[in-house]
């Protein structure tokens, strides 16, 4: 299977703390994208990191990519209640256009 | 600018019936993708259109699923006849181009329940 894995599957922290989610994948990728899904809603694109990049920032988001370990991490700093959602990583398969998703991390921010 | 839209948002049908899902991509996006998430599993790729042509159908589960994109605008995904294991959320996505710099933007999904 080409599907990835995310760790942890669920994370609960206090508002203001930082949240780190990890993702591992099995196939070679061109880029890795992170998405957020609020309950019952669609996937919202957060950030894209190319395979030749190691780190990328966007607002309170920081993404790292280690292609040698086939892993990525998403850090959300100064978390807010509104960050409560499921977060998915998705690698764009090399030589194809499809995304291969991880199982997702359910993040809960407690006020 | 409108995002990817999908219709209906939720469909409940009986086993053996037919259902057609629709996706309208972001205007100007030639690339359209279908994905689905069945209960407890990961989101999985179904197929990819470039304009009206099927570029990659490797994820289509069986011949009960038929995707079309006549005219290269909106797309439909028909399930005929539906089975219980087809229940899940069907997502559509679109992208402006190919290659490592292009994001795929997803619609809200259609929740399909087969009873």
Domains of chain A in start order, with CATH, are 5-110 (2.60.40.10)
**Whether B43 and A98 lie within 8 Å, measured CB to CB:** no
Domain presence at residue B55? yes
Those residues whose C-beta lies under 8 Å from the C-beta of residue A40, and which sit 6 or more positions away, are: none
Domain presence at residue B107? no
pLDDT band at B105 (very low <50, low <70, confident <90, very high): very high
Query: What pLDDT is recorded for position A41?
Result: 79
**pLDDT over 90 for what percent of chain B?**
86
Q: What is the pLDDT of residues B30-71, one digit of tens each?
A: 999 999 999 878 999 999 999 999 999 999 999 999 999 988
In a mutagenesis test of the B interface, which of A1, A2, A43, A46 is the best target, namely the one with the most B β-carbons within 10 Å?
A43
Q: Which of A96-105, B5-14, B45-54 has the lowest mean pLDDT?
A: A96-105
| CB-closest option in B4, B42, B103 to A33 | B103
What residues make up the domain containing B51?
31-96
Contact residues, chain B, for A102 at CB < 8 Å: 42
**Whether B108 and A41 lie within 8 Å, measured CB to CB:** yes
pLDDT band at A16 (very low <50, low <70, confident <90, very high): very high
CA distance B101 to chain A (A): 7
CATH of the domain at B70: 2.60.40.10
Query: Residues, chain A, total?
Result: 111
Domain presence at residue B63? yes
The helix or strand, by DSSP H or E, that contains position A33, with its residue range, turns out to be: strand A29-37
Instruction: Give φ, ψ of B79 to 5 degrees.
Output: -120, 120
């Amino acid at each position: 299977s080409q599907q990835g894995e995310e760790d942890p599957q669920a994370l609960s922290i206090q508002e203001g703390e930082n949240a780190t989610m990890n993702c591992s994948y099995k196939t070679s990728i061109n880029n890795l994208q992170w998405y957020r899904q609020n309950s019952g809603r669609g996937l919202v694109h957060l950030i894209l990191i190319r395979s030749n990049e190691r780190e990328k920032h966007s607002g309170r988001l920081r993404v790292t990519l280690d292609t040698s370990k086939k892993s990525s991490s998403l850090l959300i700093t100064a978390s807010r209640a509104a960050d409560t959602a499921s977060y998915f990583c998705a690698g764009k398969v090399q030589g194809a256009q499809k995304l291969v998703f991880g199982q997702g991390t359910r993040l809960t921010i407690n006020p | 600018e409108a995002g990817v839209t999908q219709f209906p948002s939720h469909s409940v049908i009986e086993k053996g019936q037919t259902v057609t899902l629709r996706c309208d991509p972001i205007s100007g996006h030639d690339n359209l993708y279908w994905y689905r998430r069945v209960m407890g599993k990961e989101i999985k790729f179904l197929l990819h259109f470039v304009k009206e042509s099927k570029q990659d159908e490797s994820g289509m589960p069986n011949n009960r699923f038929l995707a079309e994109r006549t005219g290269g605008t909106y797309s439909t995904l028909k399930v005929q006849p539906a089975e219980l294991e087809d229940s899940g959320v069907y997502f559509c996505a679109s992208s402006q181009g190919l290659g490592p710099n292009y994001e795929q933007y997803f619609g809200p999904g259609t929740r399909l329940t087969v009873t």
